[in-house]
Chains A and B, each alone.
Chain A
Amino acid sequence: MNLAGIGSEQVKRLLACLAGGVALAIMVGDQEGTQDDYGLEFRQSVAFPRILVFLGIGVVVYLAVTFWPRVVPYLTRPGIWPLAAGALTVIASLILLQWFTPQGNGKFGTVRTAVADTSGLSALSKAFFSWLAYALLIVVLVAMFVAAARRLAGLAWAAAGLAVVAGGLGLLAHRAVTNFAPGTPDHSLGAAVHAFGYLVIAVAGVSVARAPVGVARTRESFDRVLAWRPGLPVVAAGLVFGLLALGSATWFSPQHFDADLRATHSLFDPTGLAPLASQYLSWLAWALLAVTVGLSGAGSYLRNRALGLAGAVVGVVAVLLTLFTLHGFSAIGADLNVDSATGPWQNLGSGGWVACIGFFLAGAGGLIAAMASRTKATASPLASTTTSDTSAVTDTAIGAPADTLSGGVRSGSAGARVVGPPSSGRPSSGLPSSGLPSSGATSTSAVAVAERPLEASMPALPAHRMLSGSQTGTTLLLVAVAVALFYPPTATGFWQTVMVTEIAPYVLLAVGLNVVVGWAGLLDLGFIAFFAIGSYTTAYLVGSLPVKPPSWLQMSPLWAIPFAVAACLLAGVALGAPTLRLRGDYLAIVTLGFGEIIRLVAINNPGNFTNSTRGPSTQVPHPVIDLGFIRFEWALNPLQYWYLWLFFLVIVVILFYRLEGSRIGRAWTAIREDEVAAQATGINTVRVKLLAFAIGASTSGLTGVLFASQVGYFNPDNFVLNNSILVVAYVVFGGMGSLPGAMAGAAVLTWLPEFLRDQVPAEDRQMWIGAVVLIMMIFRPGGLIPARRRKAELSGFDHSESAETSAVPLGEGMGGSR
């Protein structure tokens, strides 16, 4: 780069953008090369016209990159990021999502032509689908951008109002279309996502209008919204979901029939439904929603612990009642043999489950509020001049909600921020920002001192304290739980199958491999071998392999868990003991070889123990719980397996979460960072590494049991090398060493191919996944959700101090080590 004149830099950038455009042009097209021509036709016709379009895109990107510095100041204006997120959501809903399932591929464009051809639809929906949607989007975006850039509060309010109207119009137009064709079940998300995007834009507008200062840090403002009244956003989300569910969603949907809450009530009221369920359907649900939201909201707004807890309790009760009701009327539906239902929980619409999410979130908001108000009690307003352990921070600037300038110690932004006048000296329990890794020495910079004298005397909060106690973390966790519990029943059968056969196993595997790769830093490219060992052990123990176990050993799948885990543990130790003294990359190739060896042994072993390439000869039976008085058998319904997976996943994650901060977890970190130094501090490196190997392996043993008993038949092709590499990719993609990261990485990358099934030709999916992984690594090498420690590493030495050191409990410091 020594000839890095401006000109050559520009030329390089332009060339790179053009090359990217060409690559994209090849990627989006049809299959170019055929049987004999090796892409000859493509090369001959490459000039027109697609390539020009993409070269144009390349030029646009080039311009965008070149003029990016001029854009940057605007990006720190309040509301810009929510605006971008909302705009992307709306555009995605218009491009990618389905708006009316029965109509062709159901996307907006398809529905648009269909609506144009249909007479008798309301003028509104005609207009909406033909031009209004686009016009509204453009007007709202332009107005909002101008308002944000020029900081015009009035225009922002207007645009926010228009955004809400636009979202509502979308819902109405969609409603008109679905009403026009009754009896055709519609599972589209387009209108809802569209409305949600506009809501986000409206929020952006409010923050533009109400922001007290000229610049905002995205993460901070997000945290500030969450921290203003902890739990309130969650309660609001719960209210939205609850209203959607009770107001419009389908509760009972056999084929060619959709009944919302009221219709369901009038359907089942005369059929001898349990009185409570009947009451629920008629009015109790609304009352419960009102009470939950009211209690939680009041608890959150007034920072009242009792009210928040009460809201949480009512929320749980409401969820239980909802489930009871759903069970009640679906069982009656099965008795009446509606749509050949064979038992309860069939023919249900999404309504009940969405209501569950709503109640859950409303209750969770109350819980968050209750927890937050407890930390408030321990926070001492101005006394935190010593190294404060409390996660609350003194905040003197609470007046108007948006004035909440919490987190006075955020040095990074302190210089640029103009602080509103403190109005009431009331301490806030609002937790400060979680995301910013800033802390330490820079926090008392001169600028901060000059602007907020008060802060000068306050030390930095340890970054990890802010993180671990953060509202954002708790909130996201609770939302994730709500989605994991109640979203799957509303998904289509296809997605349910994907969830239990692809996503869940690989999430569990990634969690296991995260121990080996992420925490102990051992690159294991043969992880899938343990998965295979677990699966084959199960198949052997339940008697599905050609070679049967002795009769006293034959057992049902769930009992095989300890044996499979033990087998994998032994295999992990057997592989690890001789090889763990190898350094990183040697270990990688040895484990890779191990993975291949296991697979090949499964294919051809003497005595045909594993039935070669065909896998188990008889089906591995489904799991059964038989306690004498209770007997539950998992059958073919993917949902049942989903909850089984979830149960074990939760156990494993909790165990590993505890493990991460334990002495062993810290030993792993030490080995990962510097093996020699770790050895010098008295860590038995071989033993600790073996432990990591064994723990990771046993997790995949558990996965193997569940997988084998769920799919029934499997074969060595399930355990190819590619899958091992993919699991490593999941872990790193999600964020090495971070439990939520590993789970998110696996979930996203197993979801992506199935999602792409609708978007690109089947054989191109791997290409797109490769591109996504590559781009992700280029722009975010730490992964989706980087581990805190890794994040400290990536950002250099400035921030790494407290997160590592003060995570060690006092008694276990240097003095107390082994």
Chain B
Amino acid sequence: MPQPAPVLVARPGSDPFWKAPGHDMVTYFHNVPEYLVLGITRGSMYALIALGYTLVYGVLQLINFAHSEVFMSGAFGSYLVVHAVVGDGSGTPAWAVPFVILIGLLTGALTGAIVAWTLERVAYRPLRRRNAPKLAFLISAIGASFFLSQLAGKMFNRLTNNNMPTYFDRNNVVFTVAGADVRVLQLVIVGAAVVLMVFLDRLVNGTKLGRSIRGVAEDAPTAALMGINIDKTISRTFVIGGALGGAAGFLFGSYFTFYNTMGFVPGIKAFAAAVLGGIGNIRGAMIGGLLLGIVENLVPTLPFIGTQWTDVVAFAVLVLVLVVRPTGILGERLGRAA
């Protein structure tokens, strides 16, 4: 059995190096590039999760509260496969590392997609058939979320420090920008997120499936009249969003730790990010996620604020943006993905 490998990159609660004595504005500005790197890393994961919220919102006008559990399942699913492939990770040849990462991403995406599909079938479709009020969907999703996170706790474990196998030195500094170290894993995360988002953008804008998703988001009854199968489209939207969330689960689990309730906080944050960018708007979700990640790292580290206010800052920014622009930064553009 693998020993939990030590992770030196920012782990929640363990690495507030900026809390070291003697921090002041000068040190702060000196550290800004570092914070930006951390923020972009975290933000791109938020963005990946937020895409799931925004896609589902686009077609159903519903907050999929159980998306956080899709994200969590991606981490566990990819762990099982990656662990089966590389064991505890020691002795993995360097040439194999990209493939292992790819495997992790794919299995995470697959798990997420399966869970999201099941979720749609179990918690959403029966209610849609019954013409249930909107909040009933929310509550069934919350029920599903409780159920899934605790079921995962029962099936796997309830520890809070599970680690992915260390099959490469993820803290190896690749290059340095303006004094900020950029590490391998951070590059992997941002790169994977960018690739996935470009892929999604092409999928939504350039394919028949994307057109049907946009059609359903724009006006479901009319789309149905045009020959689009609404049920199938919704189902596939869940699958796409779930795949992105599952992949994010793998990245998140590699970067931090993973556990059965890991979805809750990132889920809320990603939802906030989706709203920040303009919910239902795919590019809005990307921008919102990045922005939230950066703000979370940049603002609370200000010497006169303090990191204990991270969440307050995040939500305050959200409220401010919404008060100024009630439909988010890019505005709601349901259906019009771009």
Q: State the Cβ distance, A807 to closest chain B Cβ, in Å.
A: 19
B155 touches which of A32, A581, A604, A783 (Cβ 8 Å): A32
Of A291-299, A621-629, A764-772, the one with at least 4 CB within 8 A of chain B: A764-772
A593 touches which of B79, B135, B319, B327 (Cβ 8 Å): B319
In Å, the complex CA distance between A779 and B155 comes to 27
Q: Which of A576-603 contact B (CB under 8 A)?
A: 578-579, 581-586, 588-590, 592-594, 596-597, 600-601, 603
Q: Which of A31-52 contact B (CB under 8 A)?
A: 31-39, 42
B128, closest chain A residue (CB): A781
Of B13-21, B143-151, B199-207, B214-222, the one with at least 4 CB within 8 A of chain A: B143-151
Q: State the Cβ distance, A501 to closest chain B Cβ, in Å.
A: 21
In Å, the complex CA distance between A556 and B118 comes to 54
B268 touches which of A16, A721, A769 (Cβ 8 Å): A721
With a CB–CB cut-off of 8 A, which chain B residues contact A596? 311-312, 315
CB pair A733–B79 under 8 Å, yes or no, is no
CB pair B136–A593 under 8 Å, yes or no, is no
CB pair A793–B311 under 8 Å, yes or no, is no
In the complex with contacts A35-B159, A604-B309, A736-B135 CB distance below 8 A: yes
With an 8 A cutoff between CB atoms, is B316 at the interface? yes
CB pair B156–A771 under 8 Å, yes or no, is no
In Å, the complex CA distance between A774 and B141 comes to 7
With an 8 A cutoff between CB atoms, is B154 at the interface? yes
CB pair A770–B143 under 8 Å, yes or no, is yes
With a CB–CB cut-off of 8 A, which chain A residues contact B327? 583, 586
CB pair B318–A593 under 8 Å, yes or no, is yes
With a CB–CB cut-off of 8 A, which chain B residues contact A721? 268
Q: Which of B107-161 contact A (CB under 8 A)?
A: 118, 121-123, 126-127, 130-140, 142-151, 153-159
Q: State the Cβ distance, B331 to closest chain A Cβ, in Å.
A: 12
CB pair B138–A732 under 8 Å, yes or no, is yes
With a CB–CB cut-off of 8 A, which chain A residues contact B55? none
In the complex with contacts A764-B150, A764-B154, A778-B126, A729-B133 CB distance below 8 A: no
CB pair B155–A778 under 8 Å, yes or no, is no
Interface centre among B61, B143, B162, by most chain A C-beta atoms within 10 angstroms, is B143
With an 8 A cutoff between CB atoms, is A211 at the interface? no
CB pair A781–B144 under 8 Å, yes or no, is no
With an 8 A cutoff between CB atoms, is A790 at the interface? yes
CB pair A38–B80 under 8 Å, yes or no, is yes
B124, closest chain A residue (CB): A778
B315, closest chain A residue (CB): A593
With an 8 A cutoff between CB atoms, is A517 at the interface? yes
Q: State the Cβ distance, A570 to closest chain B Cβ, in Å.
A: 18
Q: Which of B309-338 contact A (CB under 8 A)?
A: 309, 311-312, 314-316, 318-319, 322-323, 326-328
Q: Which of A688-728 contact B (CB under 8 A)?
A: 721, 725, 728
With an 8 A cutoff between CB atoms, is B172 at the interface? no
CB pair B151–A23 under 8 Å, yes or no, is yes
With an 8 A cutoff between CB atoms, is A386 at the interface? no
Q: State the Cβ distance, B319 to closest chain A Cβ, in Å.
A: 6
CB pair A600–B154 under 8 Å, yes or no, is no
B162, closest chain A residue (CB): A38
A786, closest chain B residue (CB): B133
CB pair B158–A763 under 8 Å, yes or no, is yes
With an 8 A cutoff between CB atoms, is A777 at the interface? yes
In Å, the complex CA distance between A517 and B138 comes to 12
CB pair B139–A36 under 8 Å, yes or no, is no
In the complex with contacts A579-B322, A764-B150, A767-B151, A600-B312 CB distance below 8 A: yes
CB pair B150–A796 under 8 Å, yes or no, is no
With an 8 A cutoff between CB atoms, is B24 at the interface? no
In Å, the complex CA distance between A772 and B150 comes to 13
Count how many chain B residues have C-beta atoms less than 8 Å from C-beta atoms of the other chain.
66
In the complex with contacts A781-B133, A794-B130, A586-B275 CB distance below 8 A: yes
In Å, the complex CA distance between A764 and B162 comes to 20
In Å, the complex CA distance between A779 and B153 comes to 26
With an 8 A cutoff between CB atoms, is B63 at the interface? yes
CB pair B130–A781 under 8 Å, yes or no, is yes
With a CB–CB cut-off of 8 A, which chain B residues contact A773? 139-140, 142-143, 146
Q: State the Cβ distance, A729 to closest chain B Cβ, in Å.
A: 5
In Å, the complex CA distance between A728 and B318 comes to 22
A778 touches which of B122, B308, B309 (Cβ 8 Å): B122
CB pair A770–B144 under 8 Å, yes or no, is yes
CB pair B130–A767 under 8 Å, yes or no, is no
With a CB–CB cut-off of 8 A, which chain B residues contact A42? 155
With an 8 A cutoff between CB atoms, is A26 at the interface? yes
B306, closest chain A residue (CB): A604
With an 8 A cutoff between CB atoms, is B57 at the interface? yes
CB pair B139–A733 under 8 Å, yes or no, is yes
A593, closest chain B residue (CB): B315
With a CB–CB cut-off of 8 A, which chain A residues contact B168? none
CB pair A579–B319 under 8 Å, yes or no, is yes
With an 8 A cutoff between CB atoms, is B169 at the interface? no
CB pair A586–B326 under 8 Å, yes or no, is yes
CB pair A33–B156 under 8 Å, yes or no, is yes
B131 touches which of A767, A774, A794 (Cβ 8 Å): A794
Q: State the Cβ distance, B126 to closest chain A Cβ, in Å.
A: 5
With a CB–CB cut-off of 8 A, which chain B residues contact A39? 155-157
CB pair B318–A523 under 8 Å, yes or no, is no
In Å, the complex CA distance between A398 and B268 comes to 61
CB pair A38–B157 under 8 Å, yes or no, is yes
With an 8 A cutoff between CB atoms, is A27 at the interface? yes
CB pair A597–B316 under 8 Å, yes or no, is yes
Interface centre among A37, A766, A769, A783, by most chain B C-beta atoms within 10 angstroms, is A766
With a CB–CB cut-off of 8 A, which chain A residues contact B326? 581-583, 586
With a CB–CB cut-off of 8 A, which chain B residues contact A769? 143, 146
Q: State the Cβ distance, B170 to closest chain A Cβ, in Å.
A: 20
With an 8 A cutoff between CB atoms, is A810 at the interface? no
With a CB–CB cut-off of 8 A, which chain B residues contact A35? 157, 159
In Å, the complex CA distance between A719 and B134 comes to 26
With a CB–CB cut-off of 8 A, which chain A residues contact B143? 729, 769-777
CB pair B322–A774 under 8 Å, yes or no, is no
CB pair B157–A774 under 8 Å, yes or no, is no
B139 touches which of A2, A588, A600, A732 (Cβ 8 Å): A732
Q: State the Cβ distance, A4 to closest chain B Cβ, in Å.
A: 11
A783, closest chain B residue (CB): B136
CB pair A590–B318 under 8 Å, yes or no, is yes
With an 8 A cutoff between CB atoms, is A1 at the interface? yes
With a CB–CB cut-off of 8 A, which chain A residues contact B140? 773-774, 777-778, 781
CB pair B147–A597 under 8 Å, yes or no, is no
CB pair B154–A588 under 8 Å, yes or no, is no
CB pair B142–A725 under 8 Å, yes or no, is yes
In Å, the complex CA distance between A578 and B118 comes to 39
B127, closest chain A residue (CB): A781
With a CB–CB cut-off of 8 A, which chain A residues contact B226? none
CB pair A589–B142 under 8 Å, yes or no, is no
In Å, the complex CA distance between A596 and B271 comes to 14
Q: Which of B213-262 contact A (CB under 8 A)?
A: 229, 231
If A583-B326, A600-B308 are given as contacts, then 6 extra A-B residue pairs at C-beta distance below 8 Å, sorted by A number, are A33-B156, A597-B312, A721-B268, A729-B142, A763-B150, A770-B148
**Interface CB pairs A-B, < 8 A, 15:** A1-B231, A584-B134, A592-B272, A596-B315, A728-B135, A729-B143, A763-B154, A770-B146, A770-B148, A776-B143, A778-B126, A781-B132, A782-B132, A794-B131, A796-B131
Task: Kindly list the 4 A-B residue pairs having the minimum CB-CB distance in the complex, ordered from nearest.
Answer: A770-B146, A593-B315, A773-B143, A781-B132
